[in-house]
Protein backbone atom coordinates (compact mmCIF):
# COMPACT_ATOMS: atom_id res chain seq x y z
CA UNK A 1 0.00 0.00 0.00
CA UNK A 2 1.27 3.47 -0.80
CA UNK A 3 0.17 7.03 -0.34
CA UNK A 4 1.69 10.20 -1.76
CA UNK A 5 1.15 13.91 -1.11
CA UNK A 6 2.42 16.63 -3.45
CA UNK A 7 3.77 13.95 -5.77
CA UNK A 8 2.70 12.22 -8.97
CA UNK A 9 3.24 8.65 -10.16
CA UNK A 10 4.18 8.05 -13.79
CA UNK A 11 2.07 5.34 -15.42
CA UNK A 12 4.10 2.63 -17.14
CA UNK A 13 3.65 1.58 -20.74
CA UNK A 14 2.84 -2.08 -21.31
CA UNK A 15 6.54 -2.72 -22.06
CA UNK A 16 7.57 -1.13 -18.74
CA UNK A 17 5.03 -2.95 -16.57
CA UNK A 18 7.48 -5.56 -15.26
CA UNK A 19 9.83 -2.75 -14.13
CA UNK A 20 7.02 -0.74 -12.45
CA UNK A 21 7.99 -0.79 -8.74
CA UNK A 22 4.41 -1.21 -7.50
CA UNK A 23 4.12 -4.46 -9.48
CA UNK A 24 7.73 -5.65 -9.21
CA UNK A 25 9.66 -4.37 -6.21
CA UNK A 26 13.09 -5.53 -7.45
CA UNK A 27 14.03 -1.89 -8.17
CA UNK A 28 13.78 -1.17 -4.45
CA UNK A 29 15.29 -4.49 -3.36
CA UNK A 30 18.12 -2.93 -1.36
CA UNK A 31 15.71 -0.74 0.60
CA UNK A 32 14.17 -3.47 2.78
CA UNK A 33 11.39 -1.98 4.90
CA UNK A 34 13.01 1.45 5.25
CA UNK A 35 10.43 3.96 3.89
CA UNK A 36 13.05 6.65 3.14
CA UNK A 37 15.20 4.24 1.08
CA UNK A 38 12.11 3.05 -0.82
CA UNK A 39 11.07 6.65 -1.52
CA UNK A 40 14.58 7.53 -2.70
CA UNK A 41 14.57 4.55 -5.10
CA UNK A 42 11.14 5.56 -6.49
CA UNK A 43 12.21 9.19 -7.00
CA UNK A 44 15.41 8.43 -8.92
CA UNK A 45 15.90 7.39 -12.52
CA UNK A 46 16.95 3.73 -12.63
CA UNK A 47 19.41 4.36 -15.48
CA UNK A 48 20.71 7.70 -14.20
CA UNK A 49 19.31 9.57 -17.24
CA UNK A 50 16.13 11.44 -16.15
CA UNK A 51 15.33 12.46 -19.75
CA UNK A 52 15.25 8.96 -21.26
CA UNK A 53 14.20 7.22 -18.05
CA UNK A 54 12.24 9.54 -15.72
CA UNK A 55 11.59 8.61 -12.10
CA UNK A 56 8.41 6.75 -11.22
CA UNK A 57 7.45 9.28 -8.54
CA UNK A 58 8.11 12.99 -8.97
CA UNK A 59 7.19 16.11 -6.99
CA UNK A 60 4.00 17.88 -8.10
CA UNK A 61 2.12 20.49 -6.08
CA UNK A 62 -1.45 19.63 -5.13
CA UNK A 63 -1.21 16.09 -6.50
CA UNK A 64 -2.09 13.08 -4.38
CA UNK A 65 -2.21 9.34 -4.96
CA UNK A 66 -3.20 6.15 -3.20
CA UNK A 67 -2.15 2.67 -4.31
CA UNK A 68 -3.03 -0.76 -2.96
CA UNK A 69 -1.99 -4.11 -4.30
CA UNK A 70 -1.92 -7.81 -3.69
CA UNK A 71 -0.56 -11.06 -5.05
CA UNK A 72 -2.88 -14.03 -5.49
CA UNK A 73 -1.83 -17.60 -6.25
CA UNK A 74 -4.11 -20.33 -7.56
CA UNK A 75 -3.35 -24.06 -7.72
CA UNK A 76 0.42 -23.36 -7.67
CA UNK A 77 0.08 -22.73 -11.43
CA UNK A 78 -1.07 -19.11 -11.55
CA UNK A 79 0.29 -16.06 -9.69
CA UNK A 80 -1.26 -12.63 -10.23
CA UNK A 81 0.14 -9.38 -8.85
CA UNK A 82 -2.29 -6.48 -9.16
CA UNK A 83 -2.23 -2.84 -8.06
CA UNK A 84 -5.11 -0.38 -8.03
CA UNK A 85 -4.15 3.29 -7.95
CA UNK A 86 -6.15 6.48 -7.54
CA UNK A 87 -4.35 9.72 -8.39
CA UNK A 88 -5.75 13.22 -7.93
CA UNK A 89 -4.15 16.12 -9.78
CA UNK A 90 -5.07 19.17 -11.86
CA UNK A 91 -8.61 19.23 -10.38
CA UNK A 92 -9.36 15.76 -11.70
CA UNK A 93 -8.45 12.12 -11.16
CA UNK A 94 -6.84 9.06 -12.74
CA UNK A 95 -7.99 5.54 -11.86
CA UNK A 96 -5.53 2.81 -12.82
CA UNK A 97 -5.24 -0.96 -12.54
CA UNK A 98 -1.91 -2.68 -13.24
CA UNK A 99 -1.54 -6.47 -13.23
CA UNK A 100 1.07 -9.07 -14.07
CA UNK A 101 -0.05 -12.71 -14.31
CA UNK A 102 2.30 -15.69 -14.58
CA UNK A 103 1.22 -19.27 -15.32
CA UNK A 104 3.58 -22.21 -15.64
CA UNK A 105 3.38 -25.98 -15.97
CA UNK A 106 4.56 -28.00 -14.14
CA UNK A 107 4.18 -25.62 -11.21
CA UNK A 108 7.06 -26.71 -8.98
CA UNK A 109 9.82 -26.55 -11.64
CA UNK A 110 12.30 -23.64 -11.52
CA UNK A 111 14.48 -24.67 -14.49
CA UNK A 112 12.93 -23.22 -17.68
CA UNK A 113 14.21 -26.16 -19.76
CA UNK A 114 11.95 -28.51 -17.77
CA UNK A 115 8.81 -26.38 -18.16
CA UNK A 116 6.14 -27.24 -20.71
CA UNK A 117 4.43 -23.84 -20.63
CA UNK A 118 5.42 -20.47 -19.21
CA UNK A 119 3.07 -17.57 -19.91
CA UNK A 120 3.37 -14.05 -18.50
CA UNK A 121 0.71 -11.46 -19.31
CA UNK A 122 0.79 -7.78 -18.38
CA UNK A 123 -2.41 -5.72 -18.17
CA UNK A 124 -3.02 -2.00 -17.78
CA UNK A 125 -6.46 -0.40 -17.47
CA UNK A 126 -6.59 3.36 -16.92
CA UNK A 127 -9.38 5.94 -16.83
CA UNK A 128 -7.61 9.30 -17.08
CA UNK A 129 -9.91 12.27 -16.56
CA UNK A 130 -6.92 14.65 -16.46
CA UNK A 131 -5.84 14.02 -20.07
CA UNK A 132 -9.20 12.68 -21.30
CA UNK A 133 -8.67 9.04 -22.26
CA UNK A 134 -9.53 5.47 -21.32
CA UNK A 135 -7.08 2.70 -22.17
CA UNK A 136 -6.81 -1.03 -21.76
CA UNK A 137 -3.65 -2.81 -22.87
CA UNK A 138 -2.47 -6.37 -22.44
CA UNK A 139 0.53 -8.19 -23.85
CA UNK A 140 2.38 -11.44 -23.50
CA UNK A 141 5.86 -10.91 -22.10
CA UNK A 142 8.80 -11.88 -24.33
CA UNK A 143 9.71 -14.52 -21.72
CA UNK A 144 6.55 -16.53 -22.54
CA UNK A 145 7.07 -19.85 -24.33
CA UNK A 146 5.43 -23.14 -25.22
CA UNK A 147 7.16 -26.56 -24.93
CA UNK A 148 10.74 -25.23 -25.11
CA UNK A 149 12.19 -21.83 -24.12
CA UNK A 150 13.12 -21.15 -27.77
CA UNK A 151 9.43 -21.34 -28.87
CA UNK A 152 8.27 -17.86 -27.84
CA UNK A 153 4.64 -16.82 -27.96
CA UNK A 154 3.79 -13.19 -28.68
CA UNK A 155 0.62 -11.19 -28.77
CA UNK A 156 -1.40 -8.48 -27.17
CA UNK A 157 -4.16 -5.96 -27.65
CA UNK A 158 -4.88 -2.33 -26.95
CA UNK A 159 -8.06 -0.31 -26.78
CA UNK A 160 -7.81 3.45 -26.29
CA UNK A 161 -10.72 5.85 -26.29
CA UNK A 162 -10.06 9.60 -26.22
CA UNK A 163 -12.89 11.74 -24.94
CA UNK A 164 -11.19 15.11 -24.57
CA UNK A 165 -11.08 17.49 -21.69
CA UNK A 166 -13.43 20.44 -21.39
CA UNK A 167 -11.58 23.76 -21.40
CA UNK A 168 -13.92 25.03 -18.70
CA UNK A 169 -12.39 22.53 -16.23
CA UNK A 170 -8.86 23.74 -16.94
CA UNK A 171 -8.17 26.99 -15.15
Q: Give the number of domains in the chain.
A: 1
pLDDT digits (tens, 9 = 90+) for 136-165: 999 999 889 999 889 999 999 999 999 876
Whole-prediction pTM = 0.81
Residues of the domain holding 125? 2-169
pLDDT digits (tens, 9 = 90+) for 3-27: 888 988 888 889 888 888 888 766 5
> What per-residue confidence (pLDDT) applies to 82?
94
Quote the CA–CA distance of 150 and 92 in Å, as a whole number. 46
Angle at 13 between CA 17 and CA 97, to 5 degrees: 65
42 phi and psi angles, rounded to 5 deg? -70, -30
Amino acid sequence: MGLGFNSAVRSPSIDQLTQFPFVNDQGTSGAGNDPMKILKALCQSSSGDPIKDPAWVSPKNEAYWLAAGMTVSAFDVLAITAVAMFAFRDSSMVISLFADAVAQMPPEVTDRREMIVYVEIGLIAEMNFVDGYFRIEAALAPTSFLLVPQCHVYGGFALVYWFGVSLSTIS
